[in-house]
């Protein structure tokens, strides 16, 4: 159970109290402790709340090998194993694949990764025999740096892991030994993710194809933006982009595509205001440039997430059979 006080500050600068009734959740990132208790109680299946990803793998290692909760060296090694396996097929070639640069065979039958671990936490990363994918020094290296801010101080609820000296050795096809991980005392605070309602997003999309598609889509964008201004839509954030042209990297392409899709989205405090965004895109069917088609519109509520750090003493996990 996580108890939040109104004066606690989030990483976005707002206080918990300022959220009022918009506050909908608060989940501390727990570690291996609760899972370990459940395993010691002879649980066959453990269902958790929010638990740090590596902890899901560290707890069974601690249980099987009898590691102490302050055996930082082994906990660091066990956390490396968890970090490598936590994204499932990512370490066995998923997400890694980039045709012509990093080829992966039979990606449609991607094999689930597994680790062969000894009592000291040394491990070989491999995958189910006969499956597709690839486990190599390169796939493991990419997974190692995934979501790690400081390799020498990777903060988890269980240990401050040190991955700065980790190395990988290919021992055979789809067999990679991971070595060199270490650890030191765990942080005294736990990260808490706070969910809260943060307005509504209204969105509209429409496609243009054939000769002059980009020019017509650009004109359509100008029309919608001007219309939103004229009718006085109350919005906090606005984005209008041509998917396939400038939605990711800005106006960089010098090649004229034969099809492009306009997307206009805005965040508003009120649902009624957000709905007006998609309506203006939909009217492009007859009130905008020629050749528009496939229009769609939607309104969805925004559930935003912010974080804070809490002392462990105010977070009380509970185990129920």
Instruction: For 45-105, give the DSSP string.
Output: ----SSB-TTHHHHHHHHHHHT--TT-HHHHHHHHHHHHHHTTGGGTTTTTT-BTTTB--T
Residues 167, 272: one domain? no
72 domain residue, yes or no: yes
Q: CB within 8 A of 86, min separation 6: which ones?
A: 53, 54, 56, 57
Residues 126, 53: one domain? yes
92 domain residue, yes or no: yes
Q: What is the pTM of this model?
A: 0.89
9 domain residue, yes or no: no
Q: Residue 296 pLDDT > 60, yes or no? A: yes
Among candidate residues 154, 187, 220, the one where a domain is terminated: 187
pLDDT at residue 4, rounded to an integer? 78
Q: Residue 298 pLDDT > 80, yes or no? A: yes
* Total of domains in the chain: 2
Domain carrying residue 64: 31-187
When pLDDT is cut at 50, 70 and 90, the band that residue 108 belongs to is: very high
Among candidate residues 144, 160, 187, the one where a domain is terminated: 187
Residues 181, 252: one domain? no
Residues 99, 153: one domain? yes
Residues 68, 129: one domain? yes
Under DSSP, is residue 315 helix (H, G, I), strand (E, B) or coil?
strand
Tally Cβ neighbours within 10 Å of residue 105.
11
Q: What is the pLDDT of residues 246-279, one digit of tens each?
A: 765 566 656 778 899 999 999 999 999 999 999 9
Among 46, 43, 71, which Cα is nearest to 56's? 46
CATH of residue 225's domain is 3.30.70.600
Q: Residue 205 pLDDT > 70, yes or no? A: yes
Among 191, 197, 192, 156, which Cα is nearest to 26's? 192
Residues 39, 154: one domain? yes
Q: For all residues of the chain together, what is the average pLDDT?
A: 94
16 domain residue, yes or no: no
Strand pairing partners for 267? 201, 237
23 domain residue, yes or no: no
Distance in angstroms (rounded) separating the CA atoms of residues 8 and 192: 11
Distance in angstroms (rounded) separating the CA atoms of residues 114 and 127: 5
Residues 40, 183: one domain? yes
Q: Residue 26 pLDDT > 60, yes or no? A: yes
Q: What is the pLDDT of residues 79-103, one digit of tens each?
A: 999 999 999 999 999 999 999 999 9
Among candidate residues 143, 161, 187, the one where a domain is terminated: 187
Cβ contact 208:288 at 8 Å: no
Q: Residue 154 pLDDT > 70, yes or no? A: yes
Residues 157, 283: one domain? no
Q: Residue 2 pLDDT > 60, yes or no? A: no
Residues 178, 208: one domain? no
264 domain residue, yes or no: yes
pLDDT at residue 76, rounded to an integer? 98
Residues 93, 222: one domain? no
pLDDT at residue 3, rounded to an integer? 65
DSSP class per residue in 192-243: EEEEEEEEEEEEEEEEEESTTHHHHHHHHHHHHHHHHHHTT---SEEEEEEE
The pairing of strands 189-209 and 237-243 is unpaired
pLDDT at residue 165, rounded to an integer? 98
Residues 178, 205: one domain? no
Residues 178, 268: one domain? no
Q: Residue 57 pLDDT > 80, yes or no? A: yes
2 domain residue, yes or no: no
pLDDT at residue 245, rounded to an integer? 79
298 domain residue, yes or no: yes
Dihedral sign (CA 104, 117, 33, 191): negative
């Amino acid at each position: 159970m996580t108890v939040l006080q109104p004066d606690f500050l989030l990483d976005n600068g707002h206080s918990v109290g300022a959220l009022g009734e918009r506050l909908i959740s608060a989940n501390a990132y727990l570690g291996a402790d609760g899972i370990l208790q459940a395993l010691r109680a002879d649980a066959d299946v453990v269902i958790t709340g929010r638990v740090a990803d590596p902890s899901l793998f560290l707890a069974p290692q601690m249980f099987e090998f009898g590691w102490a909760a302050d055996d930082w060296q082994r906990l660091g090694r066990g956390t490396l194993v968890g970090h490598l396996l936590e994204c499932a097929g990512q370490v066995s070639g998923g997400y890694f694949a980039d045709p012509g640069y990093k080829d992966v065979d039979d990606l449609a039958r991607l094999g689930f990764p597994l680790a062969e671990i000894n009592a000291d936490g040394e491990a070989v990363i491999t995958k189910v025999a006969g499956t597709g994918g690839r486990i190599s020094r390169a796939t493991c290296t990419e997974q190692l740096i995934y979501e790690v801010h400081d390799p020498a101080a990777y903060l988890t609820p269980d240990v401050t892991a040190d991955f700065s000296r980790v190395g990988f050795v290919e021992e055979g096809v789809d067999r990679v030994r991971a070595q060199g991980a270490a650890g030191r005392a765990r942080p005294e605070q736990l990260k808490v993710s706070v969910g809260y309602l943060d307005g509504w997003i209204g969105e509209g999309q429409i496609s243009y194809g054939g000769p002059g598609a980009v020019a017509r889509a650009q004109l359509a964008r100008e029309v919608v933006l001007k219309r939103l201004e004229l009718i006085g839509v109350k919005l906090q954030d606005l984005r209008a982009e041509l998917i396939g042209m400038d939605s990711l990297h800005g106006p960089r392409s010098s090649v004229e595509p034969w099809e492009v899709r306009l997307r206009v989205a805005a965040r508003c405090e009120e649902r009624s205001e957000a709905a007006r965004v998609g309506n203006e895109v939909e009217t492009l069917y007859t009130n905008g440039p020629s050749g528009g088609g496939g229009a769609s519109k939607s309104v969805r509520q925004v559930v935003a997430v912010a974080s804070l750090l809490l002392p462990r003493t105010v977070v009380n996990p509970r185990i129920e059979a």
